[in-house]
Structure 1
Amino acid sequence: MFASLKIARLSTVTAMASRRMMSTKLEPLFDRVLVKKIEAEAQTKGGIMLPENQTKTHNGTVVAVGTGARSREGDFYKPILKAGDKVMLPEYGGNKVDIGGETHYVYRESDIIGRWN
């Protein structure tokens, strides 16, 4: 009886913690970058529906940037990217994170392919 009560409490605590994490703002650490992917159009301007594999996007907008990578001496290398930059992302990778009901991804700055001008 007590074991099932412990499990019920644990699942309740876990659910509360995950809800709390979703409502808070994530601040990336060190050389991490928080990115919101740009949704690709599912239909062309002419009205043609694109297949799902062609609507996958590898572009995003930088939402937040960490303090930068750390050197062996303990100094920080200044990050190249800044919030608002449009970037090209790798096809795979990044950690998926839900913040305020929206999907974001966390990448290392060195994993991001490039910045659009």
Structure 2
Amino acid sequence: MAAFKSIKSLVPLLDRVLVQRAKAETKTATGIFLPESSVKELNEAKVLAVGPGGLDRDGKRTPMSVQTGDRVLIPQYGGSPIKVGEDEFSLFRDHELLAKIKE
């Protein structure tokens, strides 16, 4: 796992997308705290940065399907993990993202 001092120093290349996984609730609606072992990781993430897009056979940029700030559905496994302090992030390729979540 790569470690950096600041996430702002990381700029994705080509068709890569930098995301941060959404944290699962550790407290129920009635105020009961859940143990960490019972809280599953969510497959939802927020897009923090995107690359300029991949290149097609003619050398033209392929537009990215997501933008900074989008909420996306990511695969349970995969991506390249990155750690900044205590925070964890992941880099995925644009085509690896499962869906964009609309508000």
> TM-score by structure 2 length?
0.83
Aligned length: 99
Cα distance change on mapping 1:105 and 1:86 into 2, 3 Å? same
Cα distance change on mapping 1:91 and 1:53 into 2, 3 Å? farther
- Residue 101 of structure 1, CA deviation: 4.6
Cα distance change on mapping 1:43 and 1:101 into 2, 3 Å? closer
- Once the two structures are superposed, the pairs formed by residues 2-21 of structure 1 within 5 Å of their partners are 21=4
One-letter code aligned to 1:45: A
- Once the two structures are superposed, the pairs formed by residues 21-60 of structure 1 within 5 Å of their partners are 21-23=4-6, 25-46=9-30, 47=32, 49=34, 52=37, 54-60=39-45
Q: Is the contact made by 2:25 and 2:39 (CA closer than 8 Å) also made in structure 1?
A: no
Query: Gaps spanning 5+ residues in structure 2: where?
Result: none
Aligned twin of 1:65 = 50
Between Structure 1 and Structure 2, the one with more strand by share is: 2
Identity of aligned residues (%): 28
Q: Is the contact made by 1:25 and 1:99 (CA closer than 8 Å) also made in structure 2?
A: no
Aligned twin of 1:5 = none
Between Structure 1 and Structure 2, the one with more helix by share is: 1
Higher relative contact order (CA 8 A, sep 6+): 2
> TM-score by structure 1 length?
0.74
Q: Is the contact made by 2:12 and 2:50 (CA closer than 8 Å) also made in structure 1?
A: yes
- Residue 52 of structure 1, CA deviation: 2.9
One-letter code aligned to 1:28: P
Higher Rg of the two aligned structures: 1
User: Over aligned residues, Cα RMSD in angstroms?
Assistant: 2.1
One-letter code aligned to 1:93: G
Query: Gaps spanning 5+ residues in structure 1: where?
Result: 1-17
One-letter code aligned to 1:82: Q
- Residue 54 of structure 1, CA deviation: 4.2
